[in-house]
């Protein structure tokens, strides 16, 4: 049989990020790539990785200084690459690009975090309400310009429902192609599936938001083991405490994404509730059946069961 040509990487491009930036990035053999769907625990995982790598519960610089979002378009590619190249500690890099859009490099560990999509939907509504779109455009203009914005937003933003329930269903039913849609149920299940198919790879780690909630210390120790990071026993209590929701919310201005561009109306609101099961107060039995039918069309049963922790 003739050898099969390599499968080309998917290209994910939105107003906020462009996965083509990864094309020119030079990995180090011990790099860590944190690749999660939005609102699934990205900042939480970055904080955990920061403390494991740096062996301290108190970061001296903003979190995104240690762990920049490589493909976010509020900073020039040159600035991000130069910054990462200057780092002497083990690098842990943020992205929302699924695994099929990332280059795979020997020795690099790829971490994905999943969460119940119904809670992701509600967290996304808070995220959007707290987001300063004008600040985003200003930062993007300074970094890469706005010449492509008309193309990216050619269809215009969809009209937004005026109720929480209506906005929830817009997120669930969004049928836009995953390479251009940003966050939706379709993009979340696709992202998780790209990792699920490679979950037995020794360099792929899958975490679940609920496990971080119910056993934060155990989850952190598991991750340290997978990353081959030894942590002295005396440090563990302080590291685990610093990774709790309450402690992170108390240091919100130091930990929010892209803190230098003030993208959030309230840094504290970025860490809104941090709980699971919020959706149960929004969906009735008919809604639950509608949701079950929607996700069944987008993902395999084992992926759905894992996301729902059933």
Phi/psi-derived region of residue 182, left when phi > 0, alpha when psi is between -120 and 50, beta in every other case: left
Q: Which two tokens stand for residue 115?
A: 């969460």
CA 19 from chain centre, in angstroms, equals: 14
Distance CA 304, CA 307 (A): 5
242-250: long-range pairs with CB below 8 Å, 24+: 242/47, 242/51, 242/57, 242/58, 243/44, 243/47, 243/48, 243/51, 243/216, 244/216, 245/271, 245/274, 248/43, 248/44, 248/47, 249/274
**Angle, helices 42-54/216-226, rounded to nearest 10 degrees:** 60
What's the CA gap between 288 and 295, in Å, rounded? 11
Catalytic residues: 96
| Helix pair angle (301-308, 185-196), 10° resolution | 110
Give the three-state DSSP class for 1.
coil
Strands (E), the chain: 32-35, 92-95, 109-114, 204-208
Give how far Cα 214 sits from Cα of 36, 92, 208, 209, 310, Å: 20, 24, 10, 9, 15
* Residue 60 per-residue DSSP state: S
Strand order in the sheet with 109-114: 92-95, 32-35, 109-114, 204-208
Interatomic CA distance for residues 57 and 97, integer angstroms = 28
């Amino acid at each position: 049989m003739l050898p099969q040509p390599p499968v080309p990487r998917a290209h994910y491009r939105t107003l906020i990020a462009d996965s083509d930036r990864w094309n020119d990035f030079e990995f180090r053999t011990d790099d860590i790539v944190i690749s999660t769907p939005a609102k699934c625990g990205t900042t939480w995982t970055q904080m955990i990785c920061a403390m494991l790598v740096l062996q301290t519960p108190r970061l001296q610089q903003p979190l995104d200084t240690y762990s920049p979002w490589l493909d976010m378009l509020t900073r020039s590619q040159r600035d991000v690459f130069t910054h990462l190249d200057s780092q002497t500690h083990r690098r842990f890099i943020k992205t929302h690009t699924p695994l099929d859009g990332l280059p795979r490099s020997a020795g690099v560990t790829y971490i994905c975090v999943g969460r119940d999509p119904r809670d992701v939907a509600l967290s996304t509504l808070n995220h959007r309400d707290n987001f300063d779109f004008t600040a985003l455009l200003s930062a993007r203009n300074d970094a890469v310009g706005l010449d492509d914005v008309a193309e990216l937003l050619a269809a215009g933003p969809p009209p937004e429902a005026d109720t929480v329930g209506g906005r929830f269903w817009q997120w669930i039913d969004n049928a836009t192609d995953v390479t251009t849609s940003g966050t939706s149920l379709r993009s979340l299940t696709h992202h998780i599936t790209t990792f699920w198919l490679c979950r037995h790879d020794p360099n792929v780690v899958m975490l679940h938001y609920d496990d971080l909630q119910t056993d934060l210390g155990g989850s952190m120790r598991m991750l340290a083991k997978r990353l081959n990071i030894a942590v002295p026993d005396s440090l563990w209590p302080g590291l685990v405490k610093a990774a709790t929701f309450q402690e992170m919310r108390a240091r919100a201005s130091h930990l929010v994404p892209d803190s230098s561009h003030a993208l959030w109306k309230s840094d504290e609101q970025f860490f809104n509730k941090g709980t699971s099961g919020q959706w149960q107060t929004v969906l009735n039995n008919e809604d639950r059946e509608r949701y079950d039918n929607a996700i069944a069309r987008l993902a395999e049963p084992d992926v759905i069961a894992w996301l729902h922790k059933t």
